[in-house]
């Protein structure tokens, strides 16, 4: 059984086509949640301090726009 798992694991990992795209270079814009909305996405950030991004809109070109909270 262990040999089977070792044999199958690389096939599973290679079969997953990860396509990550960076939308911002600061941690403040890390995404906690995503919902499709109007040709883009509403994204939620896990920020708690005043004046930090909490909700943003990401358009189809991956341009991020901070929404007023």
pLDDT tens track of the chain, all 69 residues? Answer: 556 566 565 655 555 566 778 888 888 888 899 999 999 999 999 998 988 999 999 999 999 999 986
Say if residues 29 and 53 touch (Cβ distance below 8 Å). Answer: yes
Containing H/E element for 12?
helix 2-15
pTM summary value = 0.66
pLDDT at 35: 95
Please give the torsion angle defined by the CA atoms of residues 14, 17, 21 and 27, in that order, rounded to the nearest 10 degrees.
Answer: -50
Those residues whose C-beta lies under 8 Å from the C-beta of residue 43, and which sit 6 or more positions away, are 31, 32, 33, 34, 35, 55, 56, 57, 58, 64
């Amino acid at each position: 059984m262990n040999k089977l798992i070792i044999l199958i694991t690389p096939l599973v990992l290679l079969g997953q086509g990860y396509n990550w795209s960076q939308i911002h270079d600061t941690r403040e814009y890390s995404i906690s949640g995503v919902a499709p909305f109007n040709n883009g996405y509403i994204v939620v950030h896990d920020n708690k301090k005043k004046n930090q991004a909490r909700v943003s809109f990401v358009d189809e070109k991956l341009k991020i726009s901070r929404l007023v909270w």
